[in-house]
Homo-oligomer: A and B are copies of this chain.
Amino acid sequence: DRPLVLIAGPCVIENEAATLRCAERLMTICNGVSLSLVFKASYDKANRTSVTSFRGPGMQEGLRILQKVKDSLGIPVISDIHSIEQVKPAAEVLDIIQVPAFLCRQTDLVVEVGRTNRVVNVKKGQFMAPWDMENVVGKILSTGNERIILTERGVSFGYNNLVSDMRSLPIMRRIGFPVVFDATHSVQLPGGQGGSSGGQREFVEYLSRAAVATGIDGIFMEVHEDPDKALCDGPNSVRLDDLPALLKKLKAIDAIVK
């Protein structure tokens, strides 16, 4: 088992300067605790609760900024795609292409991402059992691509609530690919604020420690300099200032269970 990797970044690319600043700070923090970093940010939030929510700079501008992060900091980047046409341009920039949870059952999209031969990160749908991800993996393997990551981000639990079933992490690892726990989307309260989704930032620390203690490959977190001012997912984003202490604990727990 290799040591834990951190996948982190702002929920959405707000602008170039803020994105680069966030990536730099993350890099400094990760160097300080000897954790590998993959930088994540979305260029388009395609499934916001409300039609008037902020969505991001769009694909072209977003990929340009992510390329700049790669060039200036030398770290791998990950982002999510939402349609088949986005796959090819995204594959030219991204090291890891992410299939959103709501779209994890869309065969054509998953296969198209598989064909790029980039690493594919599929988020488990909120409506899926962990063992059902084996069928999604099969769709990617049908393209000859074996570089797959599976991400847990909570499962539907009644209305406007998700629960993180920690059994799902070892269950998905048995499929044979690295497993990531998304510690910030797992604390979302979907649709829980009427026109947007609520969140419970205070539980990110508990759930990320718990998930790492089961023995996983990566931990995913949305971070922000000032979450209360974030244009997306502020309620569940981690404040950058709080990150070093949390990562130190996660790294120590990871060392015990591996």
Contact = CB atoms under 8 A, between A and B. Distances in A.
Interface in A62-117: 82-84, 102-103, 105-108, 111
23 contacts: A46-B108, A83-B108, A102-B102, A102-B105, A102-B106, A125-B127, A126-B156, A127-B127, A128-B190, A128-B191, A129-B160, A131-B191, A132-B190, A157-B157, A158-B161, A163-B163, A166-B206, A166-B207, A167-B207, A169-B206, A213-B253, A253-B253, A256-B256
A48 B107 contact: yes
A126 B132 CA distance: 15
A209 B213 CA distance: 5
Please tell me how many copies of the chain the complex holds. 4
Interface string A105-145: 11110010000000000000111111110010011001000
Given A83-B83, A157-B159, A166-B206, 7 more contacts: A47-B106, A50-B139, A51-B135, A83-B84, A83-B108, A127-B156, A210-B211
A100 to B, nearest CB: 9
A4 interface: no
A97 B144 CA distance: 35
A126 B101 CA distance: 13
B127 A126 contact: yes
A212 B214 CA distance: 11
Contact of A157 (B84, B163, B253, B256): B163
B49 A132 contact: yes
Given A210-B214, A213-B213, A156 B159 contact: no
A215 interface: yes
